[in-house]
Amino acid sequence: MVTVQRVQTGLRVEKNLLKVLKGLAEYLDMPLGELVEGIALHAFEGKAPFSPEILSKIKQLRDVYGLSLTAADGHALEEK
């Protein structure tokens, strides 16, 4: 185990993306913050964070919550 110091943050995230992340965290039985940490740490090393089984679950959650955004949209989002 590695000991870390966590801080509270006011992170703003697209509504449907947040719903998918929360749903995935619930499915994996882990806090949302730890899920985001894991995704970021994998991305920083150029590694895929999810197995094919989890990617399938993510697709289901995207469909349920209407998340149509893709990675290509990441730098072209505009807030209402």
- Report pLDDT for 3: 96
- 61 half-sphere exposure, CB direction, 13 A CA radius: 19
- Report pLDDT for 32: 96
pLDDT tens for 43-55 read 999 999 999 999 9
Residues 48, 59, 54, 6: is their CA dihedral positive or negative?
positive
Q: Can you tell me the distance from the alpha carbon of 51 to that of 67, in angstroms, rounded to the nearest whole number? A: 20
- Report pLDDT for 80: 83
pLDDT at 71 over 90: yes
pLDDT tens for 8-66 read 999 999 999 999 999 999 999 999 999 999 999 999 999 999 999 999 999 999 999 99
Domain ranges, ordered by start, for the chain: 13-49
State pTM to two decimals. Answer: 0.91
